[in-house]
Structure 1
Amino acid sequence: MTPATKSAKARPAEASTPLPADTPPLASVPADGLPAQLAYLTRVLKTPTIGRCWEPLAEQARDENWSHEEYLAAILQRQVADRESAGTTMRIRTAHFPQVKTLEDFNLDHLPSLRRDVLAHLATGMFVPKAENVVLLGPPGIGKTHLAIGLGVKAAHAGYSVLFDTASNWIARLGAAHHGNRLEAELKKIRRYKLIIIDEVGYIPFDQDAANLFFQLIASRYEIGSIMVTSNLPFGRWGETFSDDVVAAAMIDRLVHHAEVLTLTGDSYRTRTRRELLGKSRTNSN
């Protein structure tokens, strides 16, 4: 910055600082100094981070001889970073995960069948804007829900809206909408989410009406929005869950048309963790 700019540090904090001559007049802008003007302007622009950090960053800019452009970039980066962080927090909260779990917390050692490159690709969230699906198949306790939540959190960080629930709760939600003659409105509302996660398909069998509702949920998002499904059953046994092989086949057809299907094999994650904890307990007791 120029020497004249550096000398601004010596000005009294409340000295009046006129706006440039070509600035459109704003009758409500305070006339009692630059801090008051900036407080007003950042409030009107809804940029609270700039309102908090313009002054310390200005001090740093003067000390380190930043150009005006470098100062502007730094202050805008702070505002954008805070806004993105707040947005991510909101998306994770409104996703209704039962617990917030991350991929980084997941121990992949017990899943030798899981290709790390495929998981890394899914973690980028690039499948979401393409309206592609993810299906996680495997026995109970292997970590399907943890992986689904972890991928959902990654999608939220990438800027995509996510909604999580179990298969039985999705059916209950759609059933209530159906009985209230608002099923189409509910499906339209769900379509606003870029990614929905359906957990625990196969744990509870559904009757014909529930199967039809579930099919409508899948069909309503076909090539429009992403779906992630976890199931303890291979596709060949989905007819048992939905009480209709034809409906199950039609559902699977739409799910896998644009999908990454991961069949997980290995030890139960929960059982293995329990064994490790018991082993540590015995070691400590000795």
Structure 2
Amino acid sequence: MSTAIKAKPPATPPKDGMPSMIAYLTRVLKTPTIGAFWEELAAQARDENWSHEEYLAALLQRQVADRESKGTVMRIRTAHFPAVKTLEDFNLDHLPSLRRDLLAHLATSTFVAKAENVILLGPPGLGKTHLAIGLGVKATQAGYSVLFDTASNWITRLAEAHRGNRLEAELKKIRRYKLIIIDEVGYIPFDQDAANLFFQLVASRYEQGSIMVTSNLPFGRWGETFSDDVVAAAMIDRLVHHAEVLTLTGDSYRTRQRRELLAKENRASRD
């Protein structure tokens, strides 16, 4: 003899008035912002004669905006930027070589959706790291996961995974990030083992996820950094296949600041 299993009846909201019912429903739906602001917006809707649709849209917009804001904060935190810098804070007047239209296009983060790369080349002190962080922040605001580190720290991470026989697992973990930023390629030379690990990182993301690289060296000198011209060439080939390459020129901002400070001191001494 079979016994039918009765479905558990859905929970019923409390019946002690509309505020309690809405509090219950927003808790079940996990929409705390609606729970916090529905009454305030309802009063505004009555005062301004909103339609039901306008009130609903305003309430949903508040919930979505709050959720996106919290999501952005979390993505910025997990990106491990050394400091949070924005494109709006970058002084473009000191970098005339940078195409404003291209920077504006990259700021939309569409390159991340297409798994394309961005390469920032130029001598030290031009603000490459600031630009990389600024573009990374834009990507987090667009909803993409980002992970930032220096080239030497990326190599250390991969080398530790390799020694623990978990390199493939580590590369798979890194692939979960839509954009990784590799800062300061070229400042520290790598041996052949490190170069091979770096190549595996680039190859594992080829046409799968975006990479942003900053380097003080032109591509022609990457063989010096990676101790192998062949590996460097293969790496560059994969990086630039779907990429925007920005070659920056200009004065180092540190040199410029020092020059401006000396000029100010000279004026002060004459006065």
Superposed pair shares fold, TM > 0.5: yes
Describe the shift of the 1:141–1:30 C-alpha distance in structure 2 as closer, same or farther (beyond 3 A).
same
Residue number in structure 2 paired with 1:209:
193
Instruction: Output aligned runs, 1:26-65, within 5 Å.
Output: 26-65=10-49
| Deviation for aligned residue 1:281 | 6.2
Output the amino acid matched with 1:104: E
Residue number in structure 2 paired with 1:81:
65
Residue number in structure 2 paired with 1:172:
156
**Distance in 1, Cα, partners of 2:266 & 2:34:** 55
Instruction: Output aligned runs, 1:7-26, within 5 Å.
Output: 26=10
| Deviation for aligned residue 1:109 | 1.4
Describe the shift of the 1:54–1:107 C-alpha distance in structure 2 as closer, same or farther (beyond 3 A).
same
| Deviation for aligned residue 1:171 | 0.2
| Deviation for aligned residue 1:179 | 0.5
**Distance in 2, Cα, partners of 1:49 & 1:174:** 41
Please give the per-residue CA displacement for 1:53-80, whole angstroms capped at 9, x wherever unaligned: 0001011111111111111000000000
Please give the per-residue CA displacement for 1:16-50, whole angstroms capped at 9, x wherever unaligned: xxxxxxxxx74341111111111111111111100
**Distance in 1, Cα, partners of 2:236 & 2:86:** 28
Please give the per-residue CA displacement for 1:97-151, whole angstroms capped at 9, x wherever unaligned: 0000011111111211111111110111010011110000000111100010011
Output the amino acid matched with 2:160: A
1:141 aligns with 2:137: no
Once the two structures are overlaid, the 10-residue window that deviates more, 102-111 or 238-247, is 102-111
Structure 1 runs of 4+ aligned residues shifted over 4 Å read 277-286
1:67 aligns with 2:67: no
Q: Which runs of 5+ in 1 are unaligned?
A: 1-24
| Deviation for aligned residue 1:255 | 0.3
Residue number in structure 1 paired with 2:137:
153
1:239 aligns with 2:223: yes
| Deviation for aligned residue 1:275 | 3.4
**Distance in 2, Cα, partners of 1:156 & 1:220:** 22
Residue number in structure 2 paired with 1:112:
96
Equivalent residue of 1:206, what SS? coil
Percent of matched pairs sharing the same residue: 86
Residue number in structure 2 paired with 1:257:
241
**Distance in 1, Cα, partners of 2:23 & 2:198:** 52
Describe the shift of the 1:183–1:125 C-alpha distance in structure 2 as closer, same or farther (beyond 3 A).
same
**Distance in 2, Cα, partners of 1:27 & 1:151:** 47
RMSD in angstroms over aligned alpha carbons?
1.5
Equivalent residue of 2:111, what SS? coil
What is the number of equivalent residue pairs in this alignment?
A: 262
Residue number in structure 2 paired with 1:222:
206
**Distance in 1, Cα, partners of 2:36 & 2:108:** 32
Output the amino acid matched with 2:108: T
Output the amino acid matched with 2:254: R
Output the amino acid matched with 1:38: I
Residue number in structure 2 paired with 1:18:
none
Equivalent residue of 1:160, what SS? coil
**Distance in 2, Cα, partners of 1:282 & 1:45:** 66
Output the amino acid matched with 1:136: L
